[in-house]
């Protein structure tokens, strides 16, 4: 017998594994909105500031629907296994979702996903996401994550921005599956290094 929670979990997994198409996200050449947010790396909370990160080189700002959901787990894992390749091209990575910082402390340290290698930031009211012209989708009250825990927030569409040190968007990657999202962002970052930016 299927328990009532299982269909809701399955629907959530399918919805979050499929790409969400960027509707009117900021485009290449646009100024990237600056932001500071509570963030976590390897389970340790800190304040992430885009302006500070840009002093070191390009920043990959990736927005994702929710920690511990199928597509987001794949994306975080793919970023984590490729973190050295991004670093070799001089880039910093920050994930942004509407998850609370307590949830992100767990996700950032989880060896199967962020693995202590990828920082993730909390945007609980969606202010940062909206500043990048991203659409928020209402989350159903009964949606649960891959661990069976309630998600409890809306979702931001999966979209990645590569921001150059001068604060401009070099590329916007949306509407593709999680692994392709990471691969395309890496190609952009490598292209920036090759162009001396």
The per-residue pLDDT for range 19-41, each reduced to its tens digit, is 333 446 899 999 999 999 999 99
Give the 3-state secondary structure of the chain: CCCCHHHHHHHHHHHHHCCCCCCCCCCCCCECCCCEEEEEECCEEEEEEHHHHHCCCCEEEEECCCCCCHHHHHHHHHHHHCHHHHHHCCCEEEEEECCCHHHHHHHHHCCCCCCCCCEEEECCCCHHHHHCCCCEECCCCCCECCCCCECCCCEECCEEEEECCCCEEEEEEECCCHHHHHHHHHHHHHHHHHCCC
What superfamily does domain 5-194 belong to in CATH? Glutaredoxin (3.40.30.10)
The domain locations on the chain are 5-194
Q: What is the pTM of this model?
A: 0.86
Q: Is the pLDDT of residue 70 over 90?
A: yes
Q: What pLDDT does 24 receive?
A: 60
């Amino acid at each position: 017998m299927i328990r009532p929670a299982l269909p809701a979990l399955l629907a959530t997994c399918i919805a979050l594994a499929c790409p969400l198409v960027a509707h009117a996200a900021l485009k290449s050449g646009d100024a990237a909105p600056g932001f500071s947010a509570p963030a976590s790396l390897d389970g340790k909370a800190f304040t992430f500031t885009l302006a500070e990160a840009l002093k070191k080189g390009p920043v990959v700002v990736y927005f994702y629907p929710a920690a511990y959901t199928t597509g987001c787990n794949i994306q975080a894992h793919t970023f984590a296994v490729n973190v050295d390749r991004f670093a070799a091209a001089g880039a910093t990575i920050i994930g942004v979702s509407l998850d609370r910082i307590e949830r992100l402390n767990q996700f950032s340290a989880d060896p199967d996903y962020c693995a202590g290698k990828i920082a993730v930031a909390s945007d609980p009211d969606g202010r940062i996401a909206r500043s990048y012209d991203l659409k928020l989708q209402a989350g159903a009250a009964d949606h649960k994550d891959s661990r069976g825990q309630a998600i409890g927030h809306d979702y931001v569409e999966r979209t990645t921005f590569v921001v150059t040190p001068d604060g401009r968007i070099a590329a916007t990657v949306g509407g593709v599956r999680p692994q392709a999202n990471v691969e395309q962002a890496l190609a952009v970052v490598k292209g920036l290094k090759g162009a001396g930016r």
